[in-house]
Amino acid sequence: MAPELVRHLVLDNEAAQALSSRRARDRRRASVVAAIMAANGRVVVPTAVRVEAGWRRREAAEAEANRLVSSDVPLDSAGADRAVQLRRLVPTASVVDATVAVAAERVAADYSCTLVEVLTSDATDISALAAHVEVRITVMSL
């Protein structure tokens, strides 16, 4: 019997914003929650994504988002250098897009895996960045 595939997930800005939505019956939020529930590995959000999405961990309104995604991937000096390198390779990618790719690499390295899923509304830039990282990224469009 083959071992179960471990599904690690990195959230991009639109996914983080949707997760924090307060609207009743928000289709995008439901899609994000479904992707989080389907992940059986780590679910992370890069700190740059939290900044862009306006997600403050200490706000009571973010309790549900914090419960669903409790792990941040910080942007340290080495991560910033790697993001710069990736942006030079894919000039259309935003700073946040590059940090999402760096987060995918870090999750892969930390958990010895070869595949990380990214939930994003920017499939074009994330796919372009995926060609230059040390992990296979499956892009999941939001």
- Residue 2 within any structural domain of the chain: no
Domain annotation covers residue 123: yes
Number of domains comprising the chain = 1
Count CA atoms closer than 13 A to 68's CA, side-chain side: 23
Residue 138 has pLDDT above 80, yes or no: yes
Using one digit for the tens of pLDDT, what is the confidence trace for 94-130?
999 999 999 999 999 998 888 999 999 999 999 999 9
Starting at the edge strand found earlier in the chain, the sheet holding 115-120 runs: 71-73, 43-46, 8-11, 115-120, 136-141
Read off the pLDDT of residues 13-23 as tens digits, 9 standing for 90 and up. 999 999 998 88
Q: Domain residues for 45?
A: 8-141
Answer whether residue 1 is part of any domain. no
Which CATH number covers residue 63?
Answer: 3.40.50.1010
pTM of the model: 0.94
- How many alpha carbons lie under 13 Å from residue 23 in its C-beta half-sphere? 10
Instruction: Tell me whether residue 77 is in a domain.
Output: yes
Answer yes or no: are the C-beta atoms of 126 and 101 closer than 8 Å.
Answer: yes
